[in-house]
Every structure is written in structure tokens, then in C-alpha cells.
Structure 1
Amino acid sequence: MNDSPSTAATGKGDMIWGILMLICGVLAIGVPLASGIGVAIVIGWVVLISAVWHLIFGFRSASGIGGVLWQILLALVYGAAGLAILLYPLAGLAWLTLVLAMFLLIEAVLEIALYFNISSAWAIGTLVGVSLIFSGISRLMLSSAVSRGATAAARAAV
């Protein structure tokens, strides 16, 4: 093992960053709304900065008037989205959650479609498995709710 001063300093820095990340993770779990709004604000700034870069690239682009107009249009869309997230962070958080859910859903559908072309038996097995998992979860939740209701009714009858 190398015990040089630079390695020791790096190890100490890594330890500090690790502790800081651990604290931030616990706070994010403990106060999810505040951490979610913080993430939405950071993403809003990133999207707004991306709008500026699209605008700069649009005017510096040599891809013809179509490319320039496309970059300017993207800059306007990114700018509007970034400002909307920054001005309304709670709505921005809900919007980001919806966009992430749609992204994951589209990705899942595309992956299933891709793998269906590769192996139809794999896709059918996966779809049946997912269906059984959701059916099992639904039945567990239903039986849990029914047993809680029966327990509450029995207590009320006594």
C-alpha cells in the first residue's frame, strides 16, 4: 500500500466526501419534499444553461438556416422549461416525476419490443411474470386491507 502524503490526503478527502454524501442521503430520505424541490431547482438551472448553449450553438452553427432555426427553437423550448421549473419548483417536481415515469415506461416498452424480436419465448415469459407479480401484490394488498377491516369491525362490535 502506498502511504505517501498525497494518498493520505486523497483518502481523507474521500472520507469527508463520503460522510457528507451519507448525511445528505439521510436528509434527502428524511425530508423528501425539500430534497425533491432542491433537485428540481438544480435541474431547472441545468436546463436553462442548456438553452443558452443551444442559442449560442444555433448562431455559430454552419448547418444552414434549418439547423440554425432548429437550435433556436430548442433554445426557446429549453428556456421555457427551465424557467417554468425555476419559477414553480413544486409543479416542476411533479412534472419531472411524470417525465421520468414516461421515460421509464417508454424505455420498458421499447426493450420488450426489441427483445420480442430476438426471442418471442423470452418476451411472453417476461410478460406473464410481470403480470403474476402485479397480481400477487394486488392480492396481498387486498387481503391486508380486508384483514385490517375485519379486525377493526371486530373491535367495534365488542
Structure 2
Amino acid sequence: MQGITGYELSSRKAEYLKYIHMQGDVVKTTEIAANFSVAPSTATKTLAEIAKAGYIEHTPYHGVRLTPTGTAYARFLVRRHRIVALVLSHYGLEPDEACKEAKKIEPCVSKSLTDRICASLGHPMMSVCGEIEHDCCCCCPSGDHET
């Protein structure tokens, strides 16, 4: 996706977007609130802000779903997380620890840097926390990925 910097959303909103993406189609506001240990009203406010930015469609009392833009951005966010976690695992962190620490630093990692790290690692297909998707990135237009 062109135009992504990696800084479009706050880290909290990015976590909401990743969560919605990982859950699938429609996700209820109460489920999101419970997952993030916030009041439903807090989740609703945050979701309204994400919807205003164009990443989700929010239907009150029904739930939220990603827009095409939201899906593309969420896929990038998941990819960035998994690449950062993979790098941290190379420095001796256990998978759970690498995932936890990646969450802390990934908001500081731009799309450009994510793409450069990905290329330097040979476009890995797996991280310590899941498969790394490459079809949404421009770092490897030839599709030349490590298997």
C-alpha cells in the first residue's frame, strides 16, 4: 500500500486495528473493550476515531469491520510486528518475550525501516509469532521470498 509511513495511528489505535484484523469479519465493541480491559464507552470512542480516519466501519450496537484501507493497514501492522519480533528473537529472546517487547518498540518503526529490515533478512516467511505476509509490501516486488 503506497503512502503508509507506519505512524498513521497511535499505538493504542493500531493495536485495536490489529485485533480487529485478527478476529475476522465483524467484531463487537464489547469484545474489543474486554480484550483491552477498557470500558465499552472508551472502546466506542476510540473506534469512532478510527472510523473517522477511514480504517473501519462502525455500526453502533452491531460492531466494527475493517474497510479495504483498514485491512491493508492492519496487514502492514501485523507484518511490522512479526518482523520486529523476529529480529528480537535473533538476539536470544524467547518467542513470547520477543512478541511482548516488539509491541513496545514497533510504533517507532516506520514502513520504510520495516521494508529494509525485511529485505536484509531475506524476506522471511515466518516469525516467532506467525506467518509474515509480503503481498502488501513494496519491498519485494519480484516476489523473491525466502521459503
Normalising by the smaller structure, the TM-score range is under 0.3
Instruction: Tell me the TM-score normalised to structure 1 length.
Output: 0.24
Instruction: Tell me the TM-score normalised to structure 2 length.
Output: 0.25
| Structure of larger gyration radius | 1
Q: Which has the higher contact order (CA 8 A, sep 6+)?
A: 2
More strand by share: 2
